[in-house]
Amino acid sequence: MYEWALVYMKPMGWFWGQIGWLAAFFYAASTALRLARFNTRIGTQDKRFFQGLPSPAAAALLMGMIWMWHDLGFEGANFQLPALLITVIAGALMVSNISYYSFKDFDLRERVPFVAMLAIVLGLMLLSLDPPKVLFTSFAVYTLSGPVLAVIRWRRKRGATAYLELIAPKNGGNSGQLSQASGTACTVSNRSLDDMERIVSVAPLHAVAIEVASI
């Protein structure tokens, strides 16, 4: 990315020239930190999700962008600022705490749904039609999926917290505690949204006593 576009920021002035190579260095350092964090959390991290944007996906995003614009006949000298933004954003997402689906629970050795097989075939067909655009679009969508799902989960979590605080006084509890007559208790402490949904699905809300220790 630096050789394709960021190097052309030097004629814009000393400051922009320094910003260009600093962005490239930030991306490289973020990749190293991302790999180091992955190696230290192999045994403890939920295998269904990655913490932060995977470095191969970030590399495919940048490579797909260069490939697509080169295929369309554009030179990197015309895309210094978009290249700068994508490089910095990709680096920041790699070291963030945003969750990305890992697809590791998709086991081809077991029975695969027909819809999944059809999606794979269609994906290969689209990839063969225009590899540069399909590659960039696919990894751009995957990159955006993390922040979008994080916002959705935050809004649901905020709504659940507000709901518990609203109905707690009606049941004789305080703003952080809901007690019901059934005596069933579930402690929710730094749980994910999926865990909370599983708890509620197993025991109905009207028959559960939920103590919100920390959300």
pLDDT of residue 58: 94
pLDDT of residue 37: 86
pLDDT of residue 26: 95
Q: What is the pTM of this model?
A: 0.68
Q: How far apart are CA 68 and CA 134, in angstroms?
A: 9
Per-10-residue mean pLDDT of the chain, 215 residues long, equals: 88 87 94 88 75 92 92 87 93 92 72 73 82 90 92 84 67 48 39 49 42 39
